[in-house]
Every structure is written in C-alpha cells, then in structure tokens.
Structure 1
Amino acid sequence: MSSYKEIVLRSGKEASLQRFHPWVFSGAIARKPEDLVEGETVRVLAADGTFLGVGHFQIGSIAVRIMSFVDEPIDAAFYKKSLSNAYRMRSSLNLVRPDNTIFRLVHGEGDCLPGLIVDIYGDTAVIQAHSVGIHRDLELVTNALKQILPTDMVKHIFYKSEGTLPYKAGIFPENSYLSGGEDVDEIAMENGLRFRIDWLKGQKTGFFVDQRENRALLEYYAKGRHVLNMFCYTGGFSVYALRGGAASVMSVDSSAKAVSITDQNVALNFGEDPRHSSFPEDAFKFLRQLSGGEKDLIILDPPAFAKHRGAINNALQGYKKLNLQALQKIAPGGFLFTFSCSQVISAEQFRLAVFSAAAISGRKVRILHQLTQPADHPINIYHPEGEYLKGLVLQVE
C-alpha cells in the first residue's frame, strides 16, 4: 500500500472511479488535508474508506487525475513500466521504422498517464505536461524515457510546457532541453516524407501528429486535382497532396511563419515545385474571394473553435459558416476534407453543423469517410472525452 496523503469523496461519488474514469472533480471531494500541495500524489478513498485510486492533486475543476487504480507508488518503476507499455504498442503498430520517425509515444489518458504527452521527432523527444503532478515528476519521466528507448533513437529531450500548465500554480516552466540540445536535427520523416519540426516555437509540440492517417487518405484522392489547404500550418496535407500527384496545391494560413515552414517542407521533398503556392492570409477572407469552381479538393483543418463548453454554440456557428463557404466554392464532383479538433464538440454536433452548411448550400453532398485520430492517439474506453479529433470526407455534386 502506498503512503500518500488521502482525499475522501462524498458519499455516492465513487461510481465513476469504480468504472475506471480517471478524473475526480472538485465537487466530489468531502475532505482533504489542509497542507496538500498542488501536484502532490494522493490516495483517493470512497466515503466508507474503500481505496479507489492513486493520482495527482491539482487545484481546479479536475481535482485529481488518477494514475493508477492499483494501490502502488507513482515512482521510477511505475513510469518505466508505463512508458515501456506505450513504446511496445507503437512498435506493434509498425510506427517505429526508418521511413517514419514521427509518432506520439504517450497520449495522456489514452495511455493511462493523464497529463503527459510525449512526441518523437527523429532523434528528439518532446515532453509536454498538462498537469502540475507530471511537472513535479518530470525527472522520473525523463529517466524512464532514457531507459526504455533505444540508445541510438533519441539523443535529445525537449520540455515544452510553458503554455500548458495552469498559470495559477506559480510554476513558470521554461521551454528547454532537458538533455542533448547540441547539433539538433529538426528534420524528421513521416511515411517517407520529410518535415521540419518547430518544437521550439510551433503549436502543440511542433507538428500535428494526429493527422497522419488522414493525410495519407488525402494523398489517395489528390491525383490530378486542384487542392486548397486551408489553415495549412506547416503544410502536412499539402506535401502529401503533391506526392499524390495533385495538379496544383494552394496553402493558406494566417501565420506567415507557418507558411514559411510549409514552403520549406515542400522544398525538402520536391525542390522548387511550380505546382505549389502559399498565402499568409485569413482563411475566411481567402475563401470569400476564391473563384467558384476553381478548386476540386479543399481541406479545412482549423484550430479548435471551442476550448471550453461555454464556447460551443459560437464554435458550431463558426464550423457551419466555414464549411458553407467551402461548399459554395468547391467544383462539382469535388472532395471536401473537413475537421474539428475541439474536444468539447462531439462528433454528432460537428456532423450537424456540416449538415446545416450543406443544406444551406443546396448542393448534393455525400459522406465518404468519417475520420478520427490515429492509433498512437488512443482513446481510453473509460474516458470518452479523449476522442477529440473528428473529420468528414464529403463528395460534392
């Protein structure tokens, strides 16, 4: 039995933990120690004293993130075991191979490690903490990574949590290398394509790893088509479209830096390819000004329109407006790849927003594929909130 401080739940609030949901909400707590420090590991007990789980305490709505439903210490051995399991699964998925050096090693609750993200880019591992507990355990995580990954695989470990930890915790972490950091190669490979990864200043950990399988599907549809990649970020969909034989590809993003990296990624794989053009412009404005019928394959992969439940209605209106513009402009017989990465927007809500846009457009629209996140972004079956990426492939007459 572990010897951590104990949090006791109110009567009747143990049911979700007994179903292995990994979150304890603050309203479920009956009592906790007065000297409890944010990020500290605690034991969670039912009102009758029954053990429920061990996890990290944090101030806020989600008060405890359960790390284990077994009464065990969250120590070096725990992280080594958990990270070994995560790496073994990625290996079994055939993601660890010479032509694919980009993958997610740890996906928070999906890998039973709430608050922890680890992405692999070539010989660099990027760690991101979304809880104070993971930040406090950072040395344990780093040491475990060094032990479980092949010595010739990862030479650098970068910590990127400045924007993901609660500011009220008073931690003020700095993005920095925890090991290595010299002679770093920022080029990594996904399915045989080369990408420059900006983990220093880029969004998330530097690349949208979660769209890998959807990019591969787009490549299948791209041959001979005129492609418009909205919210292109660093150009993943654009590069796949070019390899797929697209007649032309336009990449659009409001960030000039992102567009610059897109151009670099195109050049890394195809040199100066006349099929590609890029525009640092607002997506909504660009779509309004686009000539109708000019593009027959459009990708809409915007940033999250809703980051909390209070923003859901506005987000759904945003998705409807954006998809309506694309549906009005796409050429007959064209394909629309449209996505939402807002966790608080359900697949049903997103599909209804797109349905509303299709109805207003008056065009015949068919769903060819319903898309989600890849297997290295697993969804814990007891934590359905982990299903955040939704996508549809539409054929438009």
Structure 2
Amino acid sequence: MHYPTLRLLPRKEESILRLHPWVFSGAIASYSEPVTDGSLVTVLDSKGKPLGTGHFGGGSIAVRLLSFSGEEIIDREFYKARLQAALRLRLDCGLVRPDGSCDRPNDTYRLVHGEGDGLPGLVIDIYDRTAVLQAHSMGMHEARMMIAEALQEVYEEAGDPVAPLAGIYYKSESTLPTRDMRELASDGFLLGHTEATPIWENGLRFIPDWLKGQKTGFFIDQRENRELVGQYAQGCTVLNAFCYTGGFSIYALGAGAKRVDSLDSSSKAMYLTERHVALNFGEDCPRHRSVTEDAFDYLEQMPQGQYDLIILDPPAFAKHRKVLRNALMGYRKINGIAIKKAAPGSIIFTFSCSQAVSKEEFRLAVFTAAASSGRRVRILHQLTQPVDHPINIYHPEGEYLKGLVLYVE
C-alpha cells in the first residue's frame, strides 16, 4: 500500500535517523497531495528516500511515526503485533497476577504507553477484564475499532495468567488535541460491556471510574511510588495532600500508619477516597480522616510538626512551557511550606506530573524551597513512572513523572 508522502527540508531528517518518532511542521518542504488530520503518510528525506510511516496531524507535531520503514503497512496485523509485544513486556515484568495466584494480586496496569510502546498517540489501561482505550491523536481515533478488535484477539489468544477482555471502553472526548477533534469523539464501549467493580493493585482494592474519572479512571502511574510510601508509613502520622482517590492513603494505612489524613479540595475526591478506605479497612476506620480544603491553605495553617510523613502529589501545574514560571513557583511554594512544617526526622514524598517541567527544573524548585526553609534536607530516592509506562530512549519527552523522597532533619 502506498500512502501520501511528505518531503522534508535538507538536514531535517537527522532526528528521525536517531529514531525520534516526531516530525515537526517546520521540517516539511512539500506534500505529494493534500492530507487531512489522521491520514497515514510516508515521510521522505529531501532526496526522496523513505524514512518512515505515521499519522499526520495539523499541529506543530505534524507526524507521529509508527514505523521507521517506508514499506510497512499500518493495518490490523501491525497493531496486533505491537499489542502482543506490549503485553509480553507486562507479563515479563510480573504485573499480571490474578486473584488467587498470590497474596498480592494485581490486575491493573498500563498496556500501551504511547511512544514507549511504539504506538504514539495511544494509551490503553487494563482494569481486570476491562480495557480503557484513549486516543491523543486523530489517527488513533480513526483506528480505534481496528485497535479494539486486535486487542480483543490478543487477550483471547494469550492464555494464563491473562483473561479475555469483557469490555473495551473508549475515553477520548477530553484528550484529542483540538476542539474540533474532541467534538467528533464519543466516549463509550467499542466492544462488550462491563461495570466498574473493585480491581486489585498489589493486594489492595480500588474502584476505577472510567466513565467520569480523570485519565482513564485511575492513576496507575503511581503504583510503585505508593508501594514505597508503604515501606515508610508504619507507625507514622501521614498527610496525603492532593489525595484525589486516596491511593497513597490506602497504602499507608495498609502498612500500619498510626493515622492518615487525606486532603483534597474536591468533595468528590474525598467521597472516592472514603469508598476506598471502606473497601479495604471497613466503613469506620479510626486511623483515617478526610479533610476537604485547599492544600496550600491547610499546609499554611497546620501546626508545626503535626506530620512525620507528608505526600505532595499535586495535579499538573504546567500543561505547556508557556506557564512554566508559574508552575515552578507553585512547586517552590508547596514544598517550602511542607519542609518548614514537617516534624524533625520526617519524610516528604514530593512529585511533579507536569511534562513541561524537566527533572532538573523540578529538583531545582525543591532545592530552592529547602534552602529557604533553613533546614537540613537530604534526598533518599529519585522517583519516576513505573515499568508499564516505559520511556522510549529516543523520545525523552515520554518521561513526565518526577518525584523525590526527602529526609528533613
């Protein structure tokens, strides 16, 4: 099959030769014919040599390359092979552990993480026997049924410990890049149907909300960091700020924390947190307290030394570089307050999920906050996203989650 071609300006092929999967609009010299958002195109260098094939988009990222071969056909078998490779990786990492197979069952994981799995513009999360498929490009939106059918086949053929999927839900009304594209998307089941029921994550229970929840319904990317919180939480008085659905709180309670206060400005988030507490520890867990309040205000007003383990996991302060300065100010402020108020010998887990903020910029913001506090602070761990959110080594932009574990003397 021959796709429309676009030819690059001289020397603009260098990043593709280094296997970076993005082609920017400013690198394009000409098109063989008019193309629309979502079209498959073949990219040529300035001399006409094929470099790869991918989805065209009308923004600054003009092409997201699916293949670095000008000959590969992007069809159902192509998607099936990529999905099979993604599932093999998760199986090799030991992420698929059904209930009854061990004392820490886990049936929740990300199957496809965009460029990290060779499928730019696509996210697929697995919640037991439900897959939630999310498109971040028009090309993936248009291929959604082909992908869903290939995904269903992969899970039917995989065998133990993988169970066939009972439902594949599409959730892209808020993730496609332009308003016009988002108006074309309609969330709903592509294949089958399931209800949101409790899933397992490392032996703990959560209820994903793929209908109305953020991302695909649950924050899978903090799984390994939540587990690390559990290693520090025993006997501690814990504050989980920006708690959302209470993931860190559940791990801390499960590890034997003395008390956990879950803090969020959203009453809906507190309702979901309390559901998870009840699901794991009963309706009236005396070690848990819900606080519905602005996190900045609460931290400012809380007494010195009230907590010896503080978790700061705010929503993204910067969606793009234009607001980077304000985002860094936000990280400096929230960390500065926490470091000043933390009890002597306490631990702070602090995160940034802002893709526009680099590891170095986030670390500098935390350093500035620590320096202004006048306290001695040491870094115990440098954290990132888990194994099912792999980073393509040729696409460093895929590393979005940054975290530090601080010891405050």
Indicate which of 164, 169, 174 corresponds to 2:186. Answer: 174
Indicate which of 123, 132, 155 corresponds to 2:129. Answer: 123
Indicate which of 219, 233, 254 corresponds to 2:230. Answer: 219
Q: Any stretches of 5+ residues in structure 2 without a counterpart?
A: 99-104, 158-162
Indicate which of 162, 165, 177 corresponds to 2:173. Answer: 162
Contact 2:173 2:182 in 1 (8 A): no
SS at match of 1:377: coil
Q: How does 1:176-325 map to 2 (within 5 A)?
A: 176-182=188-194, 184-271=195-282, 272-325=284-337
- Tell me whether 1:384 sits opposite 2:388 in the alignment: no
CA distance in 2, matches of 1:86, 1:56: 20
Contact 1:44 1:54 in 2 (8 A): yes
Task: Tell me the CA shift for residue 172 of structure 1.
Answer: 2.4
Contact 2:174 2:182 in 1 (8 A): no
Task: Tell me the CA shift for residue 122 of structure 1.
Answer: 1.5
Contact 1:193 1:269 in 2 (8 A): yes
Could you tell me which residue of structure 2 aligns to residue 36 of structure 1?
35
Letter in 1 for 2:306: E
Could you tell me which residue of structure 2 aligns to residue 90 of structure 1?
90
CA distance in 2, matches of 1:61, 1:38: 12
Contact 1:107 1:118 in 2 (8 A): yes
CA distance in 1, matches of 2:307, 2:96: 36
Give the alignment's TM-score, normalised by structure 1.
Answer: 0.98
Letter in 1 for 2:307: K
What are the superposed Cα offsets for residues 349-396 of structure 1, whole Å, 9 maximum, x if unpaired? Answer: 100000000000000100000000011000000000111110000000
RMSD: 1.1
Q: Any stretches of 5+ residues in structure 1 without a counterpart?
A: none
Contact 2:383 2:403 in 1 (8 A): yes
CA distance in 1, matches of 2:371, 2:156: 53
- Tell me whether 1:355 sits opposite 2:367 in the alignment: yes
Could you tell me which residue of structure 2 aligns to residue 56 of structure 1?
55
Indicate which of 95, 99, 106 corresponds to 1:100. Answer: 106
- Tell me whether 1:133 sits opposite 2:144 in the alignment: no
Task: Tell me the CA shift for residue 177 of structure 1.
Answer: 1.1
CA distance in 1, matches of 2:180, 2:14: 30
Task: Tell me the CA shift for residue 291 of structure 1.
Answer: 1.0
What are the superposed Cα offsets for residues 312-347 of structure 1, whole Å, 9 maximum, x if unpaired? Answer: 111111100000011111100000000001111111
Letter in 2 for 1:133: G
Contact 2:95 2:106 in 1 (8 A): yes
What are the superposed Cα offsets for residues 222-241 of structure 1, whole Å, 9 maximum, x if unpaired? Answer: 00000000110101000000
CA distance in 2, matches of 1:171, 1:4: 27
Identity among equivalent pairs (%):
58
Letter in 1 for 2:381: H
CA distance in 2, matches of 1:257, 1:194: 19
Task: Tell me the CA shift for residue 150 of structure 1.
Answer: 3.7
Letter in 2 for 1:87: L
- Tell me whether 1:73 sits opposite 2:73 in the alignment: yes
Task: Tell me the CA shift for residue 35 of structure 1.
Answer: 2.6
Task: Tell me the CA shift for residue 288 of structure 1.
Answer: 1.1
Could you tell me which residue of structure 2 aligns to residue 145 of structure 1?
151
CA distance in 2, matches of 1:255, 1:145: 35
SS at match of 1:265: helix
Give the alignment's TM-score, normalised by structure 2.
Answer: 0.95
Deviates most, 149-158 or 238-247: 149-158
SS at match of 1:239: helix
SS at match of 2:222: helix
Letter in 1 for 2:28: I
Contact 1:186 1:198 in 2 (8 A): no
CA distance in 2, matches of 1:251, 1:32: 54
Could you tell me which residue of structure 2 aligns to residue 346 of structure 1?
358
SS at match of 2:147: helix
CA distance in 2, matches of 1:185, 1:305: 29
CA distance in 2, matches of 1:172, 1:55: 21
Q: Post-superposition, which runs of at least 4 consecutive aligned residues in structure 1 deviate over 2 A? A: 150-153, 168-172
Q: 1:217 to 1:78 in 2, by over 3 A?
A: same
CA distance in 2, matches of 1:247, 1:218: 14
Contact 1:226 1:297 in 2 (8 A): yes
Could you tell me which residue of structure 2 aligns to residue 20 of structure 1?
19
CA distance in 1, matches of 2:197, 2:7: 47
Letter in 1 for 2:371: A
SS at match of 2:261: strand
Contact 1:38 1:169 in 2 (8 A): no
Letter in 2 for 1:96: V
